[in-house]
Amino acid sequence: PKIIFSGIQPTGVPHLGNYLGALKQWKDMQDTARPLDKLFFSIVDLHALTIPGSADKLRQNRREMLTSLLAIGLNPERSTIFYQSSVPQHAELQWILSCTASTGYLTRMTQWKSKLTTLNPSSPSQSTTPSNPTISSPALKHGLFSYPILQAADILLHTATHVPVGSDQKQHLEFARECVTNFHSAWSVPLESRIFPYPQTISLDSSSRVMSLADPAKKMSKSDPNPKSKIFINDDEAAIRQKIKWARTDCVSTYVGEYDPVNRPGVANLLEILGGFAGKTGREAAEEIKEETLQTLKTLTADAVVSGLAEVRENFMLFGEDTEVNRQRVREIEEIGTQSARESAERTMEKVRNAIGLS
Ligand code: AQP
């Protein structure tokens, strides 16, 4: 049987990138899982601490993310849905893994570099050594730098065999696999008593990166302060149409033409979004409408997003409403998820503590 793990940060309502790159697949996986497969979907609130914000905002974001996961169709009776911070073993395993993780490897990861630039647009990121642009920047906090170790701990703690992630996260999965090797070899765990399997990435064609609508050179990101850069899963029809109308394309041609993400990234991004809702690649979408104008592309994309998100938006309104029934329901879901995740975590940690002499 498979053990599937994935996480999302409670840093705002999910956007189209999160939806097409991750959440839609989570739901599909839940629906196609075999009876013995286990699914863990975590709201990774410890990771969210790497992005500056207030306590009240984080509280609101955690709740909103739970609402979002229910709205996209995750079922707490089938999937373990839980807050990362409710299971202290995540942080415990992170520390243990960090003792055998290579700093050099972490330095080569790209996410902290791009996040640092998004969070501090004026930081002198390009001014130091070119291969290592901001390692000495005072703005780089250790939590952001060591983020992949906590992510590896999330995955390994539940002995996940399969991890669905967006293409932006593949590098982190490679690192998690490296942590498996490092751990077993540092503590001389024999092959037959290995604790962690090597997790595999599940990435579907539709999981290619969705880019910012305002600047197609950057990925669409929850923490991007520009509201025109992203479409939220609970945006209404008017907002969706307006944002797509504003989306940056180019002056190369007024026609769609070939799929060309290098020279026409804005157009390619709309094609990816259009294709994403039809289970097609951006290239396949382009083939079908290459003789149409960019205006038609925008209309078709807006139609696809509006109808593709209609049910999610409706559910979001329903589950997000602040009523006693919803509050009670949320408390129950939180309890069920926490309990199930803690049991799974403790099973692994008993073996880990034993292997390293902490028992
Ligand atoms: N633009 C994207 N295109 C495709 N997939 C994406 N994902 C994120 N952005 C895109 C996928 O969504 C999942 C959850 O992401 P996350 O919240 O853990 O953090 P992230 O990757 O850093 O996403 P954001 O939106 O940029 O969030 P913030 O700004 O809060 O950090 C992941 O599987 C990711 O691949």
Domain of residue 172, CATH code: 3.40.50.620
Both 272 and 334 in one domain: the answer is no
Q: Please state the ipTM of this predicted complex.
A: 0.95
Asked if the structure places residue 130 within a domain, the reply is no
Do 156 and 281 sit in the same domain of this protein?
no
The answer to the question of residue 118 being in a domain is no
DSSP 62-124: HHHHHHHHHHTT--TTTSEEEEGGG-THHHHHHHHHHTT--HHHHHH-SHHHHHHHHH-TTS-
The answer on 346 and 246 residing in a single domain is no
- Cα separations (Å) of 233 from 13, 132, 211, 251? 7, 36, 15, 29
Ligand 1 atom 10: residue of nearest CA: 17
User: How far apart are the C-alpha atoms of 128 and 40, rounded to whole Å?
Assistant: 41
Q: Which amino acid is at 282?
A: G
Phi, psi of 247 (to 5 degrees): -55, 135
Judge if 154 and 71 occupy the same domain. yes
pLDDT at 128: 45
Both structure tokens of 204: 């579907």
In a domain, 295, yes or no: yes
- Condensed to tens digits (0 to 9), the pLDDT of residues 86-132 reads 999 999 999 999 999 999 999 999 888 888 877 776 655 444 444 45
Residue 57 belongs to some domain of the structure: yes
| Same domain as 153, residue 70 | yes
Ligand 1 touching residue 220 (CB < 6 A): yes
Q: Do residues 265 and 315 both lie within one domain?
A: yes
Cα gap 70→338, rounded to integer Å: 16
- Tell which atom from ligand 1 comes closest to the C-alpha of 118: 29
- CA–centroid distance, 128 to ligand 1, in Å, is 27
For residue 14, give the ligand 1 atom closest to its CA. 25
Check whether residue 351 and residue 269 sit in a common domain.
no
Say yes or no: CB of residue 8 within 6 Å of ligand 1.
Answer: yes
**pLDDT in the model for residue 120:** 73
Based on the fold, state whether residues 179 and 246 are members of the same structural domain.
no
CA trace torsion 330, 336, 341, 342 (10° rounding): 110
Distances (CA, A) of 278 to 211, 264, 281, 344, 358: 18, 21, 9, 36, 51
Q: Is the CB of 165 under 6 A from ligand 1?
A: yes
**Catalytic residue flag (residue 115):** yes
Contact 163, 201 (CB under 8 A): yes
- Specify the ligand 1 atom closest to the Cα of 164: 33
User: What is the C-alpha separation between 84 and 73, in angstroms, rounded?
Assistant: 20
Q: Are residues 199 and 285 in the same domain?
A: no
Query: 284: domain CATH number?
Result: 1.10.240.10
Who's near 334: CB < 8 A, 6+ residues apart? 66, 82, 83, 86
- Establish if 344 belongs to a structural domain: yes
Is residue 222 in a domain?
no
Query: Is there a domain that residue 133 lies in?
Result: no
Residues of the chain whose pLDDT is less than 70? 121-133, 204-207
**Quick one: 16 exposed, middle or buried, by C-beta within 10 A (0-12, 13-18, 19+)?**
buried
Shared-domain flag, residues 285 and 332 = no
For residue 143, give Cα distances in angstroms to 2, 112, 150: 30, 10, 9
Residue 243: active-site member: no
Domain that holds residue 198: 3-101+146-207+323-356
- For residues 43 and 62, the answer to whether their CB atoms sit within 8 Å is yes
347 within a domain of the structure (yes/no): yes
Q: How many domains is the chain partitioned into structurally?
A: 2
> 330 and 315, same structural domain?
no
Alpha-carbon distances of 149 from 91, 168, 173, 190, 343, rounded to whole Å: 10, 16, 10, 23, 22
**Phi/psi of residue 201, nearest 5 degrees:** -80, 135
The verdict on 244 and 298 lying in the same domain is yes
Atom number, ligand 1, closest to the C-alpha of residue 169: 35
Cα–Cα dist 22/204, whole Å: 10
Q: Which among 222, 230, 243, 280 is annotated as catalytic?
A: 222
State the distance from the centre of ligand 1 to the C-alpha of 291, rounded, in angstroms: 33
Whether residue 228 lies in the annotated active site: no
pTM score, two decimals? 0.91
CA separation for the pair 328, 322 (Å, rounded): 10
Catalytic residue among 57, 115, 228, 290: 115
